[in-house]
């Protein structure tokens, strides 16, 4: 494994641990201090986290949606290329 992959793996683990700790802390706060004011306060303070999470997830999600659409289009084109049953009726 080269140095760049090692650094990337360390960064992913570090960010993952930070996010997991943040979620665990919020969950414990909501469980043990579950009033509507607490929930509203936590939501207000985590709007930026939600926005960053949505931005990080939207890129790969859009990529996979586009990839699935392209694969479906490719299957359709291959099927239409090999479907010759109707085309010979045009020349009779």
Please, which contacts does 49-53 make with residues 24 or more away whose CB atoms are closer than 8 Å? 49/22
Percentage of residues of the chain with pLDDT beyond 70: 89
- CB contact at 8 A, 26 and 46: yes
88 and 66 in a common domain? yes
58 and 76 share one domain = yes
Backbone angles phi, psi at 14, to 5 degrees: -60, -50
Containing domain of residue 62, as a range? 47-92
Residues 39, 2 within the same domain: yes
- Segment 28-51, tens digit of pLDDT: 888 888 788 888 888 888 888 888
Give pTM, 2 decimals. Answer: 0.51
Asked if 55 and 31 sit in the same domain, the reply is: no
DSSP 55: H
Residues 54 and 72 in one domain: yes
CB 11 within 8 A of CB 2: no
19 with 39, same domain? yes
């Amino acid at each position: 494994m080269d140095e760049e992959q090692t650094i990337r793996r360390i960064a992913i683990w570090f960010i993952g641990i930070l996010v997991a700790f943040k979620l665990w802390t919020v969950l414990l706060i909501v469980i043990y201090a579950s009033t509507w004011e607490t929930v509203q306060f936590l939501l207000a303070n985590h709007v930026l986290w939600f926005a960053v999470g949505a931005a990080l997830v939207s890129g790969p999600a859009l990529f996979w949606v586009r990839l699935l659409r392209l694969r479906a289009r490719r299957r359709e084109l291959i099927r239409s290329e090999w479907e010759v049953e109707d085309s010979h009726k045009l020349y009779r």
